[in-house]
Amino acid sequence: MINVNKIICAIDTSDISFAEQLVSSIEYKIIFKIGLEFYYNFGLEGINRLKKIKPEMKLFLDLKLHDIPNTVKKSIIPLLKSINPFMLTIHVSGGASMLEEVAQTVHKISNENNLKRPMLLGVTILTSLSNEDRDELGWNANLSEQAIKLAILAKKTGLDGVIASPLEIKGIKKACSNSFKVITPGIRMPEHKSHDQARIMTPIEAIKNGADFIVIGRPIVEASDPNMAIKNICNL
């Protein structure tokens, strides 16, 4: 059995009505993930429309920010004040200075505005990348080794955890401690195709390996009954 609170549902859509219907229909207290597709189409207004439907919803703002330190730091501030997400992401490959400045800013703005501090997560290696992609990018380390190196940097610079494929969970936990959060996309049910994901596991495999939260998109959002899909995933 999987704790339903560990489920993150990815709302990757350019259809605001579909997103509203999905959020409204789901009865379980899961986390909802907003990514680039939704945010670029609907922005803060779209997020507020979802929060109006479910004010208590936990929001994972997955914008994967990656730029020079000052730009990312200033971009984060209005997001914290207007949305106050439960989780948000930046790219670890932005470097130590960016990570440290953003982590400090998240603490400072949260304290000054009496906000619950969001979980700041670093994106390591996208789960769509394969070892062939690694070779084309000119990386020397294999993908798992690279992800662990990035996770160590994320922890060192004050982040709460990382986004990594299920294949790296154990290595990251060993290198960074069990309290360091690992959130895993690349989750597929046995009967589903991998689509654009290269490094995947089933939900139960990821949880057994130590994932703190698992991101699931298509198996929930494309289901005729999302609540039944969640129930089946968690074996409730």
**Tally of CB atoms within 10 A around 156:** 12
pTM tops 0.75, yes or no = yes
Listed by start position, the domains of the chain span: 4-234
pLDDT digits (tens, 9 = 90+) for 125-179: 887 877 788 788 777 778 889 999 999 999 999 999 999 998 999 999 999 999 9
Query: Residue 182: what are its φ and ψ, rounded to 5°?
Result: -125, 120
Q: What H or E segment, with its residue span, contains residue 219? A: helix 218-221
For 192-226, give one letter per residue: b (16+ CB within 10 A) or e. Answer: eeeeebbbbbbbbbbbebebbbbbbbbbbbeeeeb
pLDDT digits (tens, 9 = 90+) for 168-220: 999 999 999 999 999 998 787 766 544 445 557 889 999 999 999 999 998 99
174 catalytically annotated = no
Instruction: Look up the CATH architecture of domain 4-234.
Output: Alpha-Beta Barrel (3.20)
* Pair of tokens at residue 219: 């198996």
Handedness of CA 74, 78, 84, 89 (dihedral sign): negative
Task: Decide the pairing of beta strands 7-11 and 31-34.
Answer: parallel
Q: Is the pLDDT of residue 36 over 80?
A: yes
**Which of 54, 58, 64, 231 is the catalytic position?**
64
